[in-house]
Structure 1
Amino acid sequence: MSGLERHPADSAANPVVGEVWNHPGPRRVARHSHGRGQLIYPERGCVSVETDEALFVVPPHRAVWVPPGTPHGAWYPREVAFRGIFIAPALCADLPPRCTVVQVDPLTRELIRTAAQMPWDYAAAGPEARMVRVLLDRLIALPASPLLLPEGKDERVRRVMRMLRANPADERSLGGWAQVAHVSERTLARRFLADTGMSFTAWRQQLRVVLALERLAAGDPVTTVALDLGYRTPGSFTTMFKKALGVPPSAYFDRSGIVARR
C-alpha cells in the first residue's frame, strides 16, 4: 500500500461492502489508497478526486471509480452525502483499469444506496449477495463522463499547469507559456499532447470547465465564476459551458440537485 492508510473494508469478509457518511460542510481527505476498488458516489454535493494522473470532478448523478491500490485524495467543497462501494480486486477485472467518472442512472443509484448501507456480514447466498451481483453488472455497463483534467508528466508542462490552475484567467498564448517553460512553442505543444492527449487550448478549456464545476458546486454565483475564469461576460461563459457539457450551468446543476446562483 506504499505506506498509505488502509481502509477497514480491505479486511471485510464479503467481497463487496459499502460505506455511508454525511458531512455538513467542506471536507478534505488526504492522499490514501485501498486494497479494494472504490466507487465514490456523492448522492448530494460534489467531490473532486485527485490522482497522479488527473483531477476528476464528480457532481451528483455521477460517480468516480478508483481501481485497487490507486493513491488518491478528495475535496468536498460543501455539504455532502457520501455513498461508497468497496470491491475486492478479484471482482474488478471488468471495471475500468484507471480512475473514471461514470454517469449513474436511477436504477444503479438505488442499488448503490442500498448496498452502501448493508451490514458487512450479509449472507453469501442471501438476497443482499444477489443484489450485489446485479450492482456489479450495472457498474460495468455505466457510460463514462468526460469530467477529468489530465495531469502532465513533463516538469515543464506541469509548471504551466500549476500557474494556470492558480490563475485560470491568464490569457497568455502558447508562445507566451513556452517562454515561461523555457522551451520552444512547438516543443510545448508536442509535450502537452503527449502528456495529456489534448492540445494546450483544449486542456486550458477543460481546466476552466473543471474549475467552474468545483466553484458552482460550492455555491459561487455564475457571474463571479465566469469573471474569475477569464470570461468577459457570463453569457460567453455559459456558451462555453453549454458546448462542453450540453446544457447551461443553471440546468446542469438543477438536474444534479444543486442550484447555481446567478
Structure 2
Amino acid sequence: MYGKSELRDDYQDVPRPVAAMARDLPDGHYIPPHEHRRAQLIYGTTGAITVATGHGMWVVPATRGVWVPPGLTHAMTCAGAVAMRTLYIEAQPDWHLPADPTVVSVSPLLRELIDEATRLPVEYERAGRDGKVMELLLLQLAPRPVPALHLPAPADPELAGLCEAIREHPGLPWSTEDAATHAHMSRRSLQRRFAAATGLSLARWVQQARIIHAVTLLARNTPVTAVALGLGYSTPSAFTAMFRRALGTTPSAYFAGPDASGPRT
C-alpha cells in the first residue's frame, strides 16, 4: 500500500530530519531488543503496543505513542493487530524533544500527520508542501501529560524475579506477605527495597501490572467481564472503577479512536 521499505535500518541515514515508516503487524508480533541512531516515536493506529526498555515498560493504545530516545535499547510486542506508523527523527539543536523515554499523547491532528508522513517519499521536498507537513508534525510532537502505563524495572535481581512473577500472574492477591515470601525477605525489607528500586509501593506496582495486563487483553477484544474475573475482581463494575481511578476513563473510552471498535463488555 505504501510502497516504502519496512526495514528500520533503511530510515536511519536518509537526508531528511524525519522519516516515517508503516508496518502492519499481527497480534503477538515481537520485535527483539535493538537500538537505532535516530530517536523514534512508536505508534499504532489499532491495537496496543508494549515497549520494554531497561527503564521499564510502557503500554499504549491508539491514542498514545512511546517516545524512544536515540541509542536506547528497546523491544516491542503487539496486542491485537497493530497498524504501526513509526517516526525516526534526527536530533536538531533547536528541537526540544524528550531526552528520556516517555508517553506522547496522539491527538487527532497528530494522528493524521503521522499517517500522511508515511505516504510521503523518503526524500520529500523540504521547501514544499511535504516539508510543511513534517514541520507541523514536529510542532505537534511536544509531549503532554497523560496517565502513562509505565512499569519501572528494578535493578535489584531479587526484586526483578518478584516483578517477573507478578507480571506473569497479575490476578494473584500479591499481599506484602505473599511477595515477601516469594522474594525470601522480610516484609519490612521488601517494602523499603521495593520503593527504593522502583519509586512505587508494592501495591501501586501490582496495580500497574494488572492494568497493563488488562489493556493488552482488551486490545485483543477480550470481554471486560473475562478480564475482570481473570484479575480477581468480583464484578466488571469493580474492575471498571479501578481502571477509571488509575487512568481517568473507562476501558472502552481508553481505546476510543477513529478506527477503534473498543473492548467488549
Asked if TM exceeds 0.5, the reply is yes
Aligned to 1:109: 111
Aligned to 1:259: 262
Distance 1:181 1:44 in 2: 38
Cα deviation, 1:25-66, whole Å, max 9, x if unaligned, reads: 442111111110011111122111111111111101111111
The runs of 4+ residues in structure 1 deviating greater than 4 Å are none
Aligned to 1:95: 97
Distance 1:94 1:182 in 2: 45
Distance 1:259 1:30 in 2: 28
Opposite residue 197 of structure 1, the aligned amino acid is G
After alignment, is 12-21 or 185-194 more displaced?
Answer: 185-194
Matched, 1:213 2:196: no
SS where residue 186 of structure 1 aligns?
Answer: helix
Shift of 1:163: 1.0
Aligned to 2:248: 246
- 1:16-55 correspondence runs (5 A): 16-55=18-57
Equivalent pair of 1:37/1:92 in contact (CA under 8 Å): no
Q: How many residues align?
A: 258
SS where residue 222 of structure 2 aligns?
Answer: coil
Shift of 1:14: 0.8
Distance 1:122 1:14 in 2: 8
Equivalent pair of 1:100/1:144 in contact (CA under 8 Å): no
Distance 1:92 1:165 in 2: 40
Cα deviation, 1:220-247, whole Å, max 9, x if unaligned, reads: 1111111211212222111111111222
Distance 2:156 2:172 in 1: 21
Opposite residue 28 of structure 1, the aligned amino acid is Y
Distance 1:197 1:184 in 2: 19
Distance 1:241 1:112 in 2: 29
Opposite residue 173 of structure 2, the aligned amino acid is E
- Give the TM-score taking structure 2 as reference length: 0.90
Distance 1:92 1:67 in 2: 16
Change (3 A) 1:244 1:144: closer
Distance 1:183 1:64 in 2: 35
Distance 2:41 2:94 in 1: 11
Structure 2, unpaired ranges of 5+: 1-6
Equivalent pair of 1:6/1:33 in contact (CA under 8 Å): no
Distance 2:94 2:155 in 1: 27
Structure 1, unpaired ranges of 5+: none
Which of 166, 189, 204 aligns to 2:191? It is: 189
Matched, 1:173 2:175: yes
Aligned to 1:199: 201
- 1:42-81 correspondence runs (5 A): 42-81=44-83
Shift of 1:102: 1.6
Opposite residue 262 of structure 2, the aligned amino acid is V
- Give the TM-score taking structure 1 as reference length: 0.91
Opposite residue 136 of structure 2, the aligned amino acid is V
Equivalent pair of 2:147/2:247 in contact (CA under 8 Å): no
Change (3 A) 1:225 1:143: same
Shift of 1:176: 2.7
After alignment, is 132-141 or 206-215 more displaced?
Answer: 132-141
Opposite residue 90 of structure 1, the aligned amino acid is Q
Cα deviation, 1:236-262, whole Å, max 9, x if unaligned, reads: 111111111222223333447132122
Shift of 1:13: 1.1
SS where residue 43 of structure 1 aligns?
Answer: coil
Shift of 1:148: 1.4
Opposite residue 216 of structure 1, the aligned amino acid is L
Root-mean-square deviation (CA, aligned residues, Å) is 2.0
